[in-house]
Amino acid sequence: MKNVSAHKFKNSYTEAEVEEDLEFLRNTLASRLEAAPASMGKQVAAQFTSACFTHSLGRFKDALEMFQASAECAGAQFAAISGAPNTRVAFAFRGKMLTGPSGPPQFASGAPSWVNALLLAVGLQYPHVVETLLSVPTKALQEAPGEVDACYIHLVHALRAFFQNQDPTPHLAEFERLSRPEALKISTPLSIERFRAIGPTLTALTSRDEILLNEALVKQLEAHKKMFGKGKEAGSASGLVDARSAGLMRVALDRGLKLDVESDYVPKWLIGLEQP
């Protein structure tokens, strides 16, 4: 079993802050979702970061609740930007069906955010969120504010094809071509490497090649560590968990493939291998 060790993190989070975040999640967040689901991109990130902080304190059950909230906030957000103008859309949150107004794409509604949200939902085994994300129109992702490199939409197409039992190969080839350093305008080679590592993992999953799969997952986790393991990013709590690897590892398990790699970047309770 290959272990990709996680980097050390100096935690400044307190138990009181955990309780404050949980109180907001349990008592206020639902009303925020109902009021303006299209604007929930910041909450997707906030819940994920809080979950990582909480995980670092050893409060795994509470951390899982926050990861689940992050995924369902993304489900609400992308449902809202997919809806027809001036309509209400439905989405699940904490075991209930809520509704809110549709709206144009806002912060963190683009292709990179979609990829992260999709793979977190897959890792959590949240099919209701996965279904919502797979049905988001490409146009909505492309109309999101903020400029992103052209390669990302091809990764969206590849993941959509993969999860809809179609061939992702041509989309992966285009993503690989457009994500080379010389083709980038916004992303850095370091930041995009975590996304580039998804391609070989999808290819190995498609061919059911366990050797290549585990080699690809190691590289995926190492790309995550390379991004967050040192320098300024080492102080970012959101780097404590790798949602992309979590989702792809869960796919491997669902397909009966043997995993020979583990890492603290993917807690076993996050992908259903043990109770938190």
In the DSSP assignment, the letter for residue 5 is P
Name the β-bridge partners of 263: 4
Sign of the alpha-carbon dihedral angle for 155, 156, 161, 163: positive
Indicate if 151 and 106 belong to the same structural domain.
Answer: no
Q: Where are the alpha helices (DSSP H) in 188-262?
A: 189-196, 198-207, 210-228, 243-254
- Is 232 found in the same domain as 181? yes
Assess whether 239 and 159 both reside in one domain.
yes
Residues 256 and 153 in one domain: yes
Pair 103, 21 in one domain: yes
Asked, for residue 121, whether it belongs to a domain, the answer is no
Is residue 179 situated within a structural domain? yes
Choose among 116, 85, 114: nearest CA to 101.
85
In a domain, 211, yes or no: yes
pLDDT at position 230 is 86
pLDDT for 249 equals 98
Q: Return the structure tokens found at 149.
A: 């490199």
In a domain, 126, yes or no: no
In a domain, 270, yes or no: no
Distance separating alpha carbons of residues 232 and 248, to the nearest angstrom? 27
In a domain, 159, yes or no: yes
pLDDT at 214: 98
Distance CA 153, CA 255 (A): 26
Domain that holds residue 151: 147-261
Domain boundary among 62, 92, 110: 110
One domain for residues 151 and 257: yes
95 and 156 housed in the same domain:
no
Q: What 3-state DSSP class applies to 259?
A: coil
How far is residue 259's CA from residue 250's CA, in Å, rounded to a whole number? 10
Residues 159 and 256 occupy one common structural domain: yes
Q: Determine, yes or no, domain membership for 1.
A: no
What Rg, from alpha-carbon coordinates, does the chain have?
A: 18
pTM surpassing 0.95?
Answer: yes
Q: Which two tokens stand for residue 194?
A: 């975590």
Nearest to 52 by CA among 268, 275, 273, 267: 267
Q: Which of 61, 82, 110 is the last residue of a domain?
A: 110
Q: Is 158 a member of any domain?
A: yes
The confidence score (pLDDT) of residue 155 equals: 98
Residues 98 and 157 in one domain: no
Q: Quick one: 83 and 170 in the same domain?
A: no
Cβ atoms of 91 and 48 within 8 Å: the answer is no
Map tokens 């027809």 to a residue.
Answer: 84
Residues of the chain short of pLDDT 50, as ranges, are none
Same domain, 23 and 79: yes
Exposure string over 20-31, b if 16+ CB within 10 A, otherwise e:
ebbebbeeebbe
Q: Structural domain tally of the chain?
A: 2
153 and 105 both lie in a single domain: no
